Each structure stands twice: as C-alpha cells, then as structure tokens.
Chains A and B, each alone.
Chain A
C-alpha cells in the first residue's frame, strides 16, 4: 500500500535559519502530494500542494517540489521565523479505488529567537 516517511523531529532551528524537512513516499497510483501544518491546539491546515510530477507548491515562503524520480516531496524555507513553530505533515491524496489518504507521522519544528 501507499506510505509516507518523514524525518523524525523535533527539528530545532534559530530564527532566519534554512529549513528542510524530508519526505519520501511510495504510491501505487498517481497521487497528489501535500504538506499540512498544525499549530499548537489547532487542527491541520493545508500549507501547500502539488498535483503532478515536477510541480512546485509554495505558500508563506515554504516550497516543495514533486519529484517522481526520487519519490520525494521535501519541504524547504529559506528563513524561518518563531511563528513557524508547528508540526508539519507530509501526505498523499487517496488514489485509484481508495478513499483513504496517507499521512506521515509529522515533524515538529521549534524555532528559537
């Protein structure tokens, strides 16, 4: 079945540092790829998405590129802020005959001033 592997956290950075959170996947169909963000005490919300190979999703300074050859969708940001502290989830959409999306376990990001 489909699966998503994310780097384990927590990832701890100083403000203005460069961020990479690795995400690799296995999929039998042609899913769309997502990054969701969860701020403390809240539900998950979509951060960015990519629907096909080589697409780049971007939002709020975050970027990720759908790489089919390496089955990866790594999240990057050039300069993190304290307000980016949250848990980040990589996910695949449901595809084929399934209605079940696949989520990674989440990576906690802590940004210090």
Chain B
C-alpha cells in the first residue's frame, strides 16, 4: 500500500496563478482532510470530506476550493494564489474518525 500520496511535492506560483493539489489514498478510507502548516501555527484544517460526495469547511477555507472526486481522491484548488498561501499543505485520511494517515506534503511558495 502506498498510503496517502500527494502531488506535486514542490511548487512555485506567481500571485494570481491557479493550481490544484492532488491527494489520493489506497486504504479505502471514508474521510479525507486538507491542512496547512505554517511556522508557529501548528496544523490548520482547510476543508474536509467526511465521506464520498460531501465536503465541509474547516478553520481556514478562504481562497480554497475542494473536490472529492471519488472515494480515493480529494483535490485542493487555489483559484488565485496569494503570498499568504505560501505554506506546506498536507492531505490526510481516516476510516472511523480514529487515527489519521498523512501524506508527505506539498511545499508551495507564492511570489
């Protein structure tokens, strides 16, 4: 099992550009999450999907959109990137609201 995979690993964008971060899990988990991690701020939840077909806002959803494409895949889109979105983005999944499995992260810089 690959677990949770994320692409790309690194990305540099200019202000105003758009991009989609991809996440996939092969553990047949129902719930998936997108977090951002900034120095001194810990993990902050952007969006989550409790099950296929549903998505909900987390703590910091502004500037982002998500799509739960199927049970395996959960993508995060930045429509118009801003320097404040420079961060490390982690996708995670869980089956029963229990322990979370994290991907390796995407390191995004917006200039």
Residues in chain A within 8 A of chain B (CB atoms): 32, 34, 36, 42-46, 49, 89, 91, 93-95, 98-101, 103-106
Q: With A46-B99, A93-B99, A94-B97 as given contacts, are A103 and B42 in contact (CB-CB < 8 Å)?
A: yes
Shortest CB-to-CB span from B42 to chain A, Å, is 4
Instruction: Choose among A94, A95, A98, A105 the residue that contacts B42 (Cβ–Cβ < 8 A).
Output: A105
Q: Within residues 66 to 105 of chain B, which ones have a CB less than 8 A from any CB in chain A?
A: 90, 92, 94, 97-105
Residues in chain B within 8 A of chain A (CB atoms): 4, 31, 40-43, 45, 48, 50, 56, 58, 90, 92, 94, 97-105
Q: Is the interface of A mostly helix, strand, loop or mixed?
A: loop
Residues of A within 8 A of B45 (CB): 100
Closest partner residue, chain A, to B45 (CB atom):
A100
Shortest CB-to-CB span from B9 to chain A, Å, is 10
State the CA gap A6–B24 with chains docked (Å).
31
Tell me if A43 and B103 are in contact (CB < 8 A): yes
Tell me if A45 and B102 are in contact (CB < 8 A): yes
